[in-house]
Amino acid sequence: MNAKVITVTSGKGGVGKTTVTANLTAALAMLGRRVVAIDSDIGLRNLDVVMGLENRIVYDLVDVVEGRCRLNQAMIRDKRFSDLHLIPAAQTRDKMAVSPSDMIVVCDELRQDMDYIVIDSPAGIERGFRNAIAPADRVLIVTNPEVSAVRDADRIIGLIEAENKGPGELIINRLKPQMVARGDMLSIADVLDILAIDLLGVVPEDEAILVSSNRGLPVAMSSANSTSASQAFRNIARRLEGEEIPIMDLSAPAGLFGRLRSWVGRMNGKEGV
Amino acid sequence: MGWLSRLFGKKEQSSQVAKTRLQMVLTHDRSDIPPGLIEQIKDDIISVIVEHLAIDPDEVVVELTKTSNESRLVAEIPIQGGARRKAPVVSD
């Protein structure tokens, strides 16, 4: 078996790379895949808290690279899904502690025992980003429908192509259907028009995301199909597996009649949006 | 007041403004040509052309456009009063 290495990156910080990584790894594990998430944001460790594994860290990525432990000693196994693992970043070092070739060596060692290796990239375009994309077979670019995030995504797309890691695939995160309907947010079509790359998924803005990171329980793990974001992440995981899943309909009902209809829908216990 | 201006069609939707601005800025980002350089080129073009033709500098548009695989510098320079020359040709 040979794992696929998937790197999640964005250029801009705060667009949801870590949330996407935590949820995609959880969703892939729920599909029965053997998955390891690697936090490559050395010095600003975060994936551990979002995944709810922060209390189990003994060794980290830098310990592996510098030979203080074996790779499987740094791999934390998630008790909720035995095939889900995390290799945390070091918190007290900086990006220079790891090189792109270190990342390739680590991933090559993991490949035999895993189906997916998902790397959470740091923001920026410097060493940390280079480390994260060096071993990548596929690169997922996370953006938000706003000018700064889309501009940075475009820059990242160019850099990924220059490194022969392209074409990347896009995830539009934090879309607000009501704002799109009002004409106050770039639509999916607008973003695709500008960036001209393949769309892997769209994740709507969802308060459940914050609640889940409060609890250290990725929304994709919630068994109910209750939130639109958790469904979106599970759909993306299935697309990574090669399934043809249409992008979910996020069009908001516009105008008074539409709002009335969605209000009536909610009264009947059906969620609008 | 957003709904009022929309009702009267006065204000462009902010998503449309965002898209236009992004397309403009990305054209420059991708070609590594700063927007200020285009402004300088525009001023230089105007100063050369006004020597020979009657043009309104405010009407001149010089911009970088980007298709899928090429960047192009496009100048639009309307000439005043048809194609007549600014100064009559000296007759002998």
| pLDDT tens-digit readout, A20-58 | 999 999 999 999 999 999 999 999 999 999 999 999 999
Count of alpha carbons within 13 angstroms of residue A221, beta-carbon side: 23
Rounded to a whole number of angstroms, the distance from the CA of A32 to the nearest CA of chain B is: 40
Quick check: B15 and A158 CB within 8 A? no
**For A156-205, how does the pLDDT look when each residue is reduced to its tens digit (9 = 90+)?**
999 999 999 988 999 999 999 999 999 999 999 999 999 999 999 999 99
User: Which residues of A fall within a CB distance of 8 Å from B16?
Assistant: 183
Quick check: B15 and A147 CB within 8 A? no
Spatial contact of A45 and A74, defined as CB atoms under 8 Å apart:
no
Quick check: B13 and A183 CB within 8 A? yes
| Residue A266 pLDDT exceeds 60 | no
User: Which residues of A fall within a CB distance of 8 Å from B30?
Assistant: 154, 158
Quick check: B15 and A180 CB within 8 A? yes
Phi and psi torsions of A118, nearest 5°: -110, 120
**For A82-132, how does the pLDDT look when each residue is reduced to its tens digit (9 = 90+)?**
899 999 999 999 889 999 999 999 999 999 999 999 999 999 999 999 999
Rounded to a whole number of angstroms, the distance from the CA of B31 to the nearest CA of chain A is: 11
Q: Does B25 touch chain A (CB under 8 A)?
A: yes
From A179-183, A215-219, B27-31, the region with the lowest mean pLDDT: B27-31
* Reported confidence tier of residue A221, pLDDT bands at 50, 70, 90: confident
Query: Exposed, middle or buried, A232 (CB in 10 Å: 0-12/13-18/19+)?
Result: buried
Residue A150 neighbours by CB under 8 Å, 6+ apart: A143, A144, A186, A191, A194, A195, B22
Which of B2, B15, B26 faces A151 most closely, judged by CB atoms?
A: B26
**Residue A14, Cβ neighbours under 10 Å: how many?**
12
Q: Does B18 touch chain A (CB under 8 A)?
A: yes
pTM, two decimal places = 0.83
- State what percent of residues in chain A have pLDDT above 90: 82
